[in-house]
Amino acid sequence: MKRLQLLAVLAVSWTAWSAQACVTNADCDDGNLCNGSETCQAGLCIPGMNMTCNDGNACTLDRCDSLAGCVYTTTTNCPIEGKKMRLGVGRELRVGLETGTDLTGVAFPANNTDDDPVLHGASLHFYTTTGDMFDNTLPMPTARWEYLGAPGDNKGYRYKDFHNVDGPITVAIIRAGRKNKVKARGAGLNFSLALDPEPVWFVLRFGNNGRRYCMEFGGRTKFYANARFAALAAPGPPSCP
């Protein structure tokens, strides 16, 4: 107990020695919004809490400006969470992808914009720079897309090509605020799994001028040589490649 009392006294003494003397809160203001609001307590300046800037939008760059506070800058590169994915090698190549719920609000690819795949199509780029080093971009043309709900409702989109007429992707479901799914199969996927490919990147892009939604699958993975690679719960990467 005596030791704790001594540490408390030393802590108070250090604070008193290092803190700035004040009369009002204005005496303590350092002009920096990012480190919180300083206050005057018992004649000493007490520092504020650092500001956390996060608007929950995957398609903005979040930062704190010392004068303006939180600043959110719109970007066409949107790092998002990956729920799960699987690459399979068997009678035919297969890819299964499920995103997190990041595509919501203004981050959702809205109807009648550059992000609308019914108007502008889409593509899925998946690759790795390790293992067998595959790199493929799969087309999803406009003719295969349809709206979920009426145009303008922004409920989502569906892509269907069950017979692989326009490429390996057979189905994609994109819904606002929901987990989104993409499935593909066939030789056009053009990958092999002799070596562990971790991490595997996926970039879902809507239209030629639309946004890019990026996922990096690594960490929680399972690999079976020449059979399959699977990954779970991939956090959004710091940035898109």
202-221 confidence digits (pLDDT tens) = 999 998 888 999 999 998 99
Number of structural domains (the chain) is 2
Q: What is the pLDDT of residue 53?
A: 86
Query: Do 85 and 217 meet the contact criterion of CB atoms below 8 Å apart?
Result: yes
Cα 241 to chain centroid, rounded: 12
* Token reading at 225: 């040589």
Q: What is the 3-state secondary structure (H, E, C) of the chain?
A: CHHHHHHHHHHHHHHHHHCCECCCHHHHCCCCHHHCCCEEECCEEECCCCCCCCCCCCCEEEEEECCCEEEEEECCEEECCEEEEEEEECCCEEEEEEECCCCCHHHCCCCCCCCCHHHHCEEEEEECCCCCCCEEEEEECHHHEEECCCCCCCCEEEEECCCCCCCCEEEEEEECCCCCEEEEECHHHCCCCCCCCCCEEEEEEECCCCCEEEEEECCCEEEECCCEEEEEEECCCCCCC
**Does any domain span residue 67?**
no
**Does any domain span residue 66?**
no
Q: What is the pLDDT of residue 14?
A: 36
Residue 91's region, left for phi above 0, alpha for psi from -120 to 50, else beta, is alpha
Q: What is the pLDDT of residue 4?
A: 40
Question: Tens-digit pLDDT profile for the chain (241 aa)?
Answer: 334 443 343 344 334 435 789 999 999 999 899 998 999 999 999 998 998 888 777 787 788 998 888 988 778 899 999 999 999 999 999 999 999 998 888 889 999 999 999 999 999 999 999 999 999 999 999 999 999 999 999 999 999 999 999 999 999 999 998 999 999 999 999 999 999 999 999 999 998 888 999 999 998 999 999 999 999 999 999 889 8
36-75 pLDDT, tens digit per residue, is 899 999 999 999 899 888 877 778 778 899 888 898 877 8
Domain range for 46:
1-51
Judge if 168 and 89 occupy the same domain.
yes
Distance CA 13, CA 85 (A): 56
* Token reading at 75: 């970007």
**Does any domain span residue 69?**
no
Judge if 16 and 85 occupy the same domain.
no
Judge if 133 and 14 occupy the same domain.
no
Judge if 8 and 90 occupy the same domain.
no
Q: What is the pLDDT of residue 18?
A: 54
**Does any domain span residue 146?**
yes
Judge if 19 and 104 occupy the same domain.
no
* Token reading at 184: 């593909």
